[in-house]
């Protein structure tokens, strides 16, 4: 962070060209996790910027590096490990959300990992459902209503989100935050770890 010229007080705006679903949301989550206060994601990403004639450049940017070392004191956001998740995934007081697309969850198709399917006890809410038809996040009140309905009586602190490798899951964590809801736990290892460790796997086929 220091080498990028970023200090603890900098206001950071992050974007990608995948509607926030690629490294963008993951980097936002990482910064939030280390307590960075001023960090936002550009809704609509690079495509929105292009369509609205934001000035763009292909030149290498010159970074002004200050003398202040970026400070990280502690990790702020909750995560969960594979064995703890195995014990909780089918507990009725917990909710595990798989944000991959339905075909991967169902076990029909797996483009990245060795095995298709899902973790027993999880529900499927693809991260793409956080977006409208134009690639923008749904309005905060819509996202809040959507996830509060899904959670029902489940506490947010008992909610766990995962994807294939712990990246696109952060898109749903961002959606929770945008809706002014508490950010759930992230299963960082996600399906890539689960499917490689002889854990039980289910399909809907």
Handedness of CA 161, 162, 163, 167 (dihedral sign): positive
The three-class DSSP label of residue 7 is: coil
Q: How far apart are CA 145 and CA 151, in angstroms?
A: 10
Told to judge if 163 belongs to the known catalytic residues of this protein, a careful annotator would answer yes
pLDDT of residue 13: 96
Catalytic annotation, pick one of 85, 125, 163, 179? 163
Q: What is the pLDDT of residue 68?
A: 86
- The pLDDT of residue 66 is 80
* Residue 146 confidence (pLDDT): 98
Q: Where are the domains of the chain?
A: 79-194
Tens of pLDDT, residues 149-196: 999 999 999 999 999 999 999 999 999 999 999 999 999 999 999 999
pLDDT digits 0-9 by tens, 142-155:
999 999 999 999 99
CATH superfamily, region 79-194? Rhodanese-like domain (3.40.250.10)
pLDDT at 20: 79
Kindly give the parts of the chain with pLDDT less than 50: none
Q: CA-based angle 18:22:26, to the nearest 5?
A: 140
* Nearest Cα to Cα of residue 25 among 178, 144, 134: 178
């Amino acid at each position: 962070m220091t080498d990028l010229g970023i200090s603890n007080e900098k206001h950071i705006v992050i974007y990608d060209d995948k509607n926030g679903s690629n490294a963008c949301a993951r980097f936002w989550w990482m910064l939030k996790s280390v307590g960075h206060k001023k960090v936002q994601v550009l809704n609509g990403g690079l495509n929105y910027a292009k369509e609205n004639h934001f000035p763009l450049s292909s030149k290498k940017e010159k970074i002004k590096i200050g003398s202040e070392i970026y400070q990280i004191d502690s990790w702020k956001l909750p995560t969960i490990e594979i064995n703890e998740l195995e014990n909780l995934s089918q507990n009725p007081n917990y909710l595990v959300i798989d944000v991959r697309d339905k075909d991967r969850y169902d076990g029909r198709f797996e483009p990245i990992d060795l095995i298709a399917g899902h973790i027993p006890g999880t529900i499927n809410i693809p991260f793409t459902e956080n977006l409208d038809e134009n690639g923008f996040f749904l309005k905060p009140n819509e996202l809040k209503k959507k996830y509060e309905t899904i959670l029902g009586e489940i506490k947010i602190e008992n909610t766990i989100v995962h994807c294939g490798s712990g990246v696109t899951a952060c898109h749903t964590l961002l959606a929770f935050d945008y809706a002014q809801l508490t950010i759930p736990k992230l299963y960082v290892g996600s399906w890539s770890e689960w499917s490689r460790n002889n854990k039980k796997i289910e399909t809907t086929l």
